Amino acid sequence: MNFAIVRYIIGFILQFEAAFMLLPGLVGICYGEVKEAIIYFLIALLCLICGFLLRMKRPKQMQLFTREGFASVALSWLIMSFFGALPFVITGEIPHFIDALFETISGFTTTGASILSDVEALSHTSLFWRSFTHWIGGMGVFMFIMAILPMMGGSTMNLMKAESPGPSVNKLVPRVKDTAKILYQLYIGITVLEVLVLCLCGMPIFDALTTTFGTVGTGGFGIYNDSIGGYSPLIQIVITVFMILSGVNYMVYFYLLSRHFKEAFSIEEVRWYFLIILGSIAIIVWDCHSLYSSLSDNLRHAAFQVGSIITTSGFSTVDFNAWPQLSKTVLIILMFVGACAGSTGGGIKVSRIVILFKAFQKELSMMIHPRMIKKIKMDGHIIPHETLRSTNVFMSVYFLILFLSILLIGIDEYDFTTNFTAVAATLNNIGPGLELVGPTQNFSLFSPFSKCVLMFDMLAGRLELFPMLIILRPACWKKY
């Protein structure tokens, strides 16, 4: 392990977190929350100093290998969350550090699971920071750094692989820096567009910004206790559209802007993504027809919740815990399916589901015709054996973590549905689950130990499992 390069990268992260923390401080000044603003500025200064100290000595060896890439990403997200939780504790708005850390990790990992029973009691400063963590974590802080700074040349692909969601990471253009820049330009473009549309629909600018952070980052922290339920039907429809668009593979937008329309519409994963959404909406509309007075209300709520769950945003307009069993089952399945690879969404990812289904079809065909040679293809290209192997390993580790986490939090003696959906909601970065962790409830009921388990699940889910597991292996920390 090249400890010097890991230290150097963490220093970068802390300096950028210091810059990010200036924004809620400015919001606090605008709303006359001087005490909160000063605290955020002081924490920003602390991050800046710590980052400067870590970067004082430049590493002799700047080459970044896979081990250092995964370790740097995992440790940076942990340290970033630690410093990000400090303002909540010092302001007294979330006095217990474990709770503050849970809320912050939930924000950075775009999970949206909360321990707060009264969100509206927070200051505008903390509400902004809480939602802004979604936007920072949505595309990834390393992606942001790579977009604006030359770090370690081509070896930064190992950072990109560790932080980016999906079974494989492709460069849109030859240089990693240019790929990161394109992705962030798209990310910022969608963010600005949603803010403008929401403002045109009558939403106040503060609400539009915080809601957009949670929508484009597929996070789901609301600034009101009823999440999005108090807004007009028009605003809910706009948020639904942007949630679903944020779950699309960003390569589609790159192809569309590059006028490569054939490539954009030929991505198989995206076609399945929209088919799953339409099918799920149809089932829920049929199943919930007796709950709503009009078809338009039924369709609006069904589309919103399907879009919210499959993209792992976690917003809500209604208490879907009160829906019929079939509809709740559909939502649980969508929790696991997740959004597209290369989006800001979580979950297993549609691409992995498609790959596994194709592999299943291949195995059935080979049972009938043992001598048949059949290659699995996606988007007209043969899927490499490495991708198939990594997908199978991912699924094995995924379910191992899922079942182990359910077992561990079982010590709190809550019902199985609560425990199962709590783990599913955190591991898939969704937010609300069912029963005691439903959309009108929160995660404060769990013990500190269970909260730590769920925090690990949130980080593991956001970082595609392996970075969080690698740092637990003693072999990872051996010097070369």
| pLDDT (tens place) for every residue of the chain, 480 residues total | 778 888 888 898 899 899 999 999 999 999 999 999 999 999 999 999 999 999 888 777 766 677 777 888 888 899 999 999 999 999 999 999 999 999 999 999 999 999 999 999 999 999 999 999 999 988 776 565 555 555 444 455 555 555 555 555 455 554 566 677 788 888 899 999 999 999 999 999 999 999 999 999 998 899 999 999 999 999 999 999 999 999 998 888 888 888 888 888 878 889 999 999 999 999 999 999 989 889 999 999 999 999 999 999 989 999 999 999 999 999 999 999 998 888 888 889 998 898 888 888 888 888 887 777 777 887 777 888 787 888 888 899 999 999 999 999 999 999 999 999 999 999 999 989 999 999 989 999 999 999 999 999 999 998 888 888 888 888 777 776
Look at residue 154 in the predicted model and tell me its pLDDT. 45
The contacts of residue 73 (CB under 8 Å, 6+ apart) are 142, 159, 162, 163, 463, 467
Q: How high is the pLDDT of residue 420?
A: 96
Asked whether 154 and 98 are in contact (CB, 8 A), the reply is no
Q: How far is CA 97 from CA 94, 156, 188, in A?
A: 7, 33, 32
**Residue 129 token pair:** 């920071």
Look at residue 106 in the predicted model and tell me its pLDDT.
94
Q: How far apart are CA 97 and CA 18, in angstroms?
A: 20
pLDDT of residue 165: 54
For position 177, what pLDDT does the model report? 63
Contact by Cβ (8 Å): 111, 130: no
At residue 159, the pLDDT reads 53
Q: How far is it, in rounded angstroms, from Cα 406 to Cα 419?
A: 6
Residue 189 CA, chain-centre distance (Å), reads 19
The model's pTM is 0.91
